[in-house]
Structure 1
Amino acid sequence: MRANSNYWLPFLILCFIFLYNNFAGYTNYNFEFKKAVNAYLGNTEFPKFNLWLYNITRRQIQVVLYLFLVKSWLEPSKRKYINWMIYAFIFLALLLQIFGVELMYLQQPIIYSIGANMILIACGLYFIGMITTDNYLNSNPIRLVSFWATTLLLFDYSITYIYTVSLFYLYQVNPTFGASLGGVVNVINLINTSALLLLIASPYLSKVFDKEPFFKLNY
């Protein structure tokens, strides 16, 4: 059951991404529903926005899911750090929203920055394990799907973090470059999502990928 989490976790994340993107499409189709949700959240000025959906899903829940995924590839002694980050992220995100520091229906740069940095730290812990843990030292990282998935995750959140933080500045100073960078971000997001498919399919690609060096995990 535990070993299978390396496959059902990516499947869960993939389903989650599919659902919230389709729901986002529905909110753009059903304006009255989107307007009602915005009004409930206190947003009567920008009823066409559906940022609240992406703030809850991509910038909060998805971050937690990715932290759990990276955690499944770490040695037991490193997993406690991921647990602390998950608890801290949930607490800080709730705190910032409850006290109105960052409203749910507007951009949330602080919450996103915290989540992105925690993802980057988690990826760093994985790569440290690659060069310090016998299970990984005895394996070929090029043939591990987790290596490629973590690399893409690191690249994805690094570029997206830069883009999100500088979004308004870029569109004011150089909108063409801002739009181009946004296109790059979308492509990277698509590639990163494709890595989830590889994780699910990896047991059937034994000629290409090796089995992950599983540890005995205690959640």
Structure 2
Amino acid sequence: MWAGMLNDRSTPAAFLATRRSGKPRDLVAPGPDADELTDMLTIAARTPDHGKIAPWRFVVVAPERRAALATLLTEACRSEKPGASAGEIAGLEQFAHQAPTLVVVLSSPRVDSPIPVWEQELSAGAACMNLLHAAHAAGYAAGWLTGWAAFSETVLGAFGAASERIVGFVFIGTPSRPLDERPRPAIDRIVSHW
């Protein structure tokens, strides 16, 4: 049933079945304009949120701030990983400049809330997924990356508080080539009935 839907966007289910992650290095201009990005972030915020506490934040990294991001990443890497190779440093430079639009998604748990932090972190992950769906709905592709930078205290310090965590770097743009379909798990391997 789903195989026929992968190229059909005429129904909501078919549309969702066509969403694929874009490799950020393959995402080019145009990216969303300011109004489109605001719409995407509004959709991303419509995520399950027990207690209505919005335990996540979005930080948009403007194009003119990408060089500063590259400096932050490379200096943090050299400091935190003294043995980093030249290739790793070059990769971070490239990371900072890929795709026309970048949103850093932060988990921002409310520790004074009775809602368990784990539920709040799941909500932040759901906000990332909603952002990917919103980009797809607007005709763009998006890629959600983590890697070393998402776990660096120095990088986190540039975007948020010590009590927060980087959920991911969401890159958004126009695919420069057809998006790859990756292998998906066999449904009978991941679903059971109790």
The normalised TM-score by structure 2 is: 0.25
State the structure with bigger RCO (CA 8 A, min sep 6), 1 or 2.
Answer: 2
- Higher normalized strand content (fraction of residues): 2
- Higher normalized helix content (fraction of residues): 1
